[in-house]
Amino acid sequence: MANKPTPASSKKNIARDELQTPKGTRDLIGDNLLHYQGFFEKAAEIALYYGFTPIETPILEKESLFTRAVGDGTDIVDKEMYTLKTKGGDRLALRPEGTAAVMRSYFENGFQSKPQPVMLYYHGPFFRHENPQRGRYRQFYQFGLEIMGSSKSIADATIIRLTSLILQEVGLKDLTIKINSIGDKESQASYRRELTNYYKKHARMICPDCRDRLKNNPLRVLDCKNPKCAPIKQEAPETLEFLSPDSKAHFKQVLEYLGSMGINYEIDSTLVRGLDYYSHTVFEISTTPKDDANNTVPSTAPLSIAGGGRYDYLGKILSGKKDVPSMGAAIGVDRLFDLPSFSKPTPRIVKKPKVFFIQLSFDAKLRCFEIIEILRRAKVPVAQSLTKDSLSAQLATAERLNVSYALILGQKEALEGTVIVRNMDTRSQDTIKVDKLPEYLKKMK
């Protein structure tokens, strides 16, 4: 059947929509993108110093990986995951988080037979179909750290220390670290029983979602944001009261490590985190209103900048074989940009130009790449606007960039193999042979 012609007005609408990014996503451009790269570079450098190595997993994974790892009944899996069916019939998901994929990779790449623990870091985009608002995007960026194959409390302490260290190194102040323990399997089973009994007693006062959660995944009642459930949640039993002796001892050691490192923390007995794979230590880092000179972060509900915890049982859930005791965390990089104290690091590849290259005439344009390349090899950062012709336009750009020297290549210089070096402050000029240029510029401040 022939396509019906599209009416002119709807064509216009389609064109306008097509020129916009999907809701909750955005382009990262220029300095903004450089600050993301600068942050990743800095965080990766710290992670490398502490013995972590990089990993990059695909943005697409099998849907079942997250359904099993993060859990049916969690908001991430039930409401927020982007899933798709390929033409071949595979069910895939855009990754909503990184831990499940790193654990998948641990098995797929035989990390079990390497010295334990395996310490990995990663960064990149993640996807959750959430309601976009300040600090909440549908495509967002995380920097993650995972220590896999150790049940020792020092692994928990390492992750918490490194996460807060990275945030401090990019200028953040007044961080609040909330920490809790949800214990091992045994502790979780008795807590779940107690929580279910407690909620059942108040079944008529809770929202329909929580009634479902109670049947399918009781711990998730604690993620409920419905004001109707808030008073019930507030009085709910606390995880710490149900810890087995081993879990208690583990948590006590973690707190001792934090204390000895001078890391301040608050124990938050309501913290369980919205992903099913956690056991033992869970923690979140948020800013306090003091870091909010512009009043962008509401003091009532600070957004969490980073979160993580132990996930001792995820290995077995995914592989069906043995447990891989592990601990990790991820920093939400987009949220750092809302904080006035964020230093917005710039990556090392970005060089402040020392000279501005000006070319006058076609003969000069023909030689310009030769000169720029001589300077690049000598590691002298150069700015230029090769598409411009006039001296005044190029000088104006040089002044705007606040560079110390302008290199001027006119027709005469192009023929003689020289270039004029103009000091932009004193306006004094020297004519220099092109091959002597790097040497000359290196002597200048």
For the record, the structure tokens of 336 come out as 């750092």
Our finding on whether 304 is near ligand HAM (CB under 6 A) is yes
405 three-class SS: strand
Could you tell me the smallest distance in angstroms from the CB atom of residue 356 to ligand HAM? 39
Q: Does 169 bind ligand HAM (CB under 6 A)?
A: no
Q: Is 334 in the site for ligand HAM (CB under 6 A)?
A: yes
Calpha distance 250→181 (Å, rounded): 9
Q: Is 307 annotated as a binding residue?
A: no
Residue 98 counted as an annotated binding residue: yes
Q: Of the listed pieces 105-113, 198-206, 218-226, 324-332, which binds ligand HAM according to CB under 6 A? A: 324-332
H or E element, residue 65? helix 63-69
What's the min distance (Å) between Cβ of 38 and ligand HAM?
18
Nearest to 382 by CA among 398, 363, 399: 398
Which residue in 35, 104, 128, 233 binds ligand HAM (CB under 6 A)? Answer: 128
Beta carbons of 104 and 61 less than 8 angstroms apart: yes
Q: Does 121 bind ligand HAM (CB under 6 A)?
A: no
Is 311 labelled a binding residue?
A: no
Nearest residue to ligand HAM, scored by beta-carbon proximity: 332
Please state the closest distance from residue 417 (CB atom) to ligand HAM, in A.
55
Give the distance from CA 276 to its chain's centroid: 21
The answer to whether residues 336 and 135 touch, using CB atoms and an 8 Å cutoff, is no
What residues are paired with 127 via a beta bridge?
Answer: 139
Residue 97 annotated as part of some ligand binding site: yes
Give the one residue of 302, 328, 345, 410 binding ligand HAM; rule: CB under 6 A: 328
Q: Report which of 239, 212, 242 is spatially closest to residue 309, judged by C-alpha positions.
A: 239
| Least CB distance to ligand HAM at residue 251 (A) | 17
Among 308, 325, 345, 410, indicate the residue that binds ligand HAM (CB under 6 A). 308
Instruction: Give the H/E segment covering residue 25.
Output: none
Separation CA 240–CA 377 (nearest Å): 61
Whole-angstrom Cα distance, residue 439 to residue 399?
Answer: 24
**99 annotated among ligand-binding-site residues:** yes
User: Which of 98, 218, 325, 410 forms a contact with ligand HAM (CB under 6 A)?
Assistant: 98
Q: What is the DSSP letter of 63?
A: H
Nearer CB in complex with ligand HAM: 315/410:
315
Using the contact rule CB under 6 A, the part of the chain among 2-10, 139-147, 166-174, 256-264 near ligand HAM is 139-147
Cβ atoms of 156 and 329 closer than 8 Å: no
By C-beta, is 38 or 135 nearer to ligand HAM?
135
Minimum CB separation of residue 48 from ligand HAM in Å reads: 18
Query: Does 358 contact ligand HAM by CB under 6 A?
Result: no
Widest pairwise Cα distance in the chain? 93
Stretch that binds ligand HAM, among 57-65, 97-105, 207-215, 404-412 (CB under 6 A): 97-105
Closest approach of ligand HAM to the CB of residue 272, in Å: 12
Among 271, 305, 419, 441, interactor with ligand HAM by CB under 6 A: 305
Joined tokens for residue 8: 């002119």
The whole-angstrom separation of Cα 290 and Cα 301 is 13
Q: Binding of ligand HAM at residue 164 (CB under 6 A)? A: no
Residue 147 dihedral angles phi and psi, to the nearest 5°: -115, 115
Task: State the residue for tokens 């711990």.
Answer: 219
The stretch near ligand HAM (CB under 6 A) out of 138-146, 147-155, 218-226, 376-384 is: 138-146
Cβ atoms of 106 and 114 closer than 8 Å:
no
User: Cα–Cα distance between 290 and 294 in angstroms, integer?
Assistant: 10
Contacts with 108 (C-beta within 8 Å, 6 or more apart), sequence order: none
When binding is defined by CB under 6 A, the residue of 67, 74, 99, 105 that contacts ligand HAM is 99
Number of residues that bind ligand HAM (CB under 6 A): 25
Question: Which of 407-422 are b and which e, b meaning 16 or more Cβ less than 10 Å from the residue's Cβ?
Answer: bbbbeebbeeebbbbb
Per CB under 6 A, the list member of 26, 62, 136, 211 interacting with ligand HAM is 136
Which tokens sit at 243? Answer: 């810890």
137 forms part of the interface with ligand HAM (CB under 6 A): yes
Binding of residue 130 to ligand HAM (CB under 6 A): yes
148 vs 398 by CB, closer to ligand HAM: 148
If binding is defined by CB under 6 A, does position 329 make contact with ligand HAM? Answer: yes
If DSSP codes are grouped into helix, strand and coil, which group holds residue 208?
Answer: helix
Which residues are near ligand HAM by CB under 6 A?
Answer: 97-99, 128, 130, 135-137, 140, 142, 144, 146, 304-309, 311, 328-330, 332, 334-335
Per the annotation, binding residues for L-histidine are 97-99, 128, 142, 146, 273, 277-278
